Structure 1
Amino acid sequence: MGPVPRPLPATAPPRHRGGRGRVKEWWIMQFDEITVGTVAVGVDGSTSSDHALTWAVEEATATGRALTLVHAVAPYAAVAPEAAQYAKIALEAAEAGGQAVLTAARSVAHGKAPDLEVRELLRVADSRDTLIEVARHAHLLVLGSRGRGPVRSLLLGSVGIAVTRHAECPVVVVRPTRHGIVRLGVLVGVDGTERSRDPLELACREASQRGLPLTVVHAQLLPHGRHDEEEGLLLLGETVGGLREKYPDVPIHSELTAGYPGERLVEMAERMDLVVVGSHHGGVASEVLLGSVASFVVEHASCPVAVVPTVPRTRG
């Protein structure tokens, strides 16, 4: 898997908006490279970002992939042409701060995995756009649950929700975890349709890589007696069928439960190492169903959450 160079001009042409005077927007986009198939991680110097970096380093090491460190800072705007000089100074300071964050993250990554190939991507642009573009090429994107680092950034936090809804690769949001709890492995939510295939595959791979058991759960929102229970059990049996042969090293347990899928997954996540959910980027109905479940779990789970898109990728 070779790198895909992304050369961009040092300074983009200014854009103007109407109103009293013209508002000049400045931005600089700088790339090292976006590597196809990389494990990418958003970093901003916060504690949450540090946890995401640790998870990403472990993933890259386990899968033999390169690690790409991603940092984005918001562009500054000058209210008048004569203020452009100050906007440029602010941009240069933001870039310097962002580069310092990347350098520190690289040092941490090499401290944990000295032989790991590490690349950097620095962008002065909208964080959502940056991460969504990275996800077009990456194997996996890792984010912290919130970003409050020394450099002003919108890279993490609520941006993570937006990215999970549009990213073309799986996105892992590393949620805060409670210490001192015996955890029970990987949990994946399924609905018995073809959309469950990719989340199941990722869940199995993660369980195998990390030497963990896997729990496959199907939550019935409105079960109606024994007939529905039998149908649910049959669905689980068909879903899990073949996984034990493909992943003989992974103990697999299936569970049928009643209730809202998001709430049940969050409850079960309290004792899990990782929760995997699907997020369909298709029509309105699928977005309401799968999208709301994924967002709920990302916002409330007490362990890392992997959100897997259930539509084909266009690139990468």
Structure 2
Amino acid sequence: MTSIPAIAPGSIVVGADGSRHAARALRWAAAQARREHRPLVVVTAGGGDADRVNRDALVAVRELEPTVDASGVSVDLDPRPALVDLSRDAHLVVVGSHGRGFLRSVLLGSVGTALTRLSWCPVVVCRPRDEERGGRGVLVAVDATSSSSPVLEFAFQQASLRGEPLTAVHCTWDVVAAVAGLRNVRLEDDDLGVGDEAHLALAEALAGFAETYPDVEVSQRVHHGLVDDVVGRHTGDWDLVVVGRHPVDTLGRLVTGSIATAVVERARTTVAVVPVERDPDDAAALGED
């Protein structure tokens, strides 16, 4: 099929290509569809044996999660534009990743890299991980502005669905901190004090969500460093990492957008990238036009 068929709005879409990395994504997506009571659409693309791969993937889904309403779509197209197009109606798009590293993935234009930059809905990239690690719940990187609300909503919802704790990390970096040597770029480093402006901003951003999700145990941390340094390589103990992707329409937002991709490619666990719209007041506060 060369055209992209319509899917039920709110479906979870998962890419399948017969690889072990796609199988990892398929397991995650099937379990998520069961948790959220949503239909699952398995997508294969690129022609060749895509139809067979799609059928095999559907068999696997029905064995893993027999109560999930699963269907298949096979298209003779590049998977990147196909999945981006389907993301307009999807609730989530889920893909696997082989962990070849940030630079190589960007140069080769991996499916995960394309989706984290262009998808209309949240994208979950299932990265390779050490199966003996994990168990610390959900980790969310927060910029502590009003535009982070969709990211926090997604993170709290996932923690609640799983019955897991949530760790919210706010990263700050400025010249004063750099000169003073205030650099704690590992998640296992101690939080550098409480009660300052960064901590207060983080607490304010979380306040309403803690009331909406009283079942979620929340920890707050402020780190001095870049988000991809703090979060990217030190995530293996968490089951899910959530980051935001801001619009790429100014230089500042281009840098912010690239951070989400960098976190994905360096992570040692599953990462969700949530697209957000920048609030005009936040943009002004951050020095963006």
Shorter chain as denominator, the TM-score bin is 0.7 to 0.9
- Provide Cα deviations, 1:53-92, integer angstroms capped at 9, x if missing partner: 000001100000000001110xxxxxxxxxxxxxxxxx6x
Q: How does 1:93-132 map to 2 (within 5 A)?
A: 94=48, 97-132=49-84
Q: Paired residue for 2:137?
A: 185
Larger-gyration structure (1/2): 1
Does structure 1 retain, via aligned residues, the 8 Å contact 2:171–2:224? yes
Identical residues among aligned pairs (%): 37
Do residues 249 (structure 1) and 201 (structure 2) align?
no
Partner of 1:280: 246
**Structure 1 counterpart of 2:30:** 57
Instruction: Give the structure-1-normalised TM-score.
Output: 0.76
Question: Could you tell me whether the CA contact under 8 Å between 1:146 and 1:157 is conserved in 2?
Answer: no
Structure 2, unaligned runs of 5 or more: 100-107, 181-191, 279-289
- Greater alpha carbon shift after TM alignment, 108-117 vs 224-233: 224-233
Aligned counterpart, 2:7: 34
Change (3 A) 1:146 1:267: closer
Match of 2:183 in 1: none
The letter for the 2-side match of 1:49 is A
What amino acid is aligned across from residue 54 of structure 1 in structure 2?
A: R
* Structure 1 residues 268 and 227, CA gap change in structure 2 (3 angstroms): closer
Give the direction of change, closer, same or farther, for the CA distance of 1:184–1:133 in structure 2 (3 Å limit). Answer: same
| Cα displacement (A) at 1:221 | 1.6
C-alpha deviation, 1:252, in angstroms: 0.5
- The 8 Å contact of residues 37 and 139 in structure 1, kept in 2 or not, is answered as yes
The DSSP-based 3-state class of the residue aligned with 2:94 is strand
- Structure 2 letter corresponding to 1:38: S
**What is the aligned-residue RMSD (CA, Å)?**
2.3
CA contact (8 A) 1:56 1:142 kept: yes
Taking structure 2 as the reference length, the TM-score comes to: 0.83
* Distance in structure 2 (CA, Å) of the matches to 1:261 and 1:68: 32
Q: How does 1:8-23 map to 2 (within 5 A)?
A: none
1:85-107 CA-partner distances (Å, limit 9, x unpaired):
xxxxxx6xx2xx11110111101
Instruction: Give the AA of the match of 2:197.
Output: E
Can you give the 5+ residue segments of structure 1 that lack an aligned partner in the other structure? 1-27, 74-90, 148-155
Question: Cα distance, 1:292 vs. partner?
Answer: 1.6
Please identify runs of 4+ aligned residues in structure 1 that moved more than 6 A.
225-229
CA–CA separation in structure 1 for the residues paired with 2:55 and 2:224 = 48
Alignment equivalent of 1:72, drawn from 45, 48, 54: 45
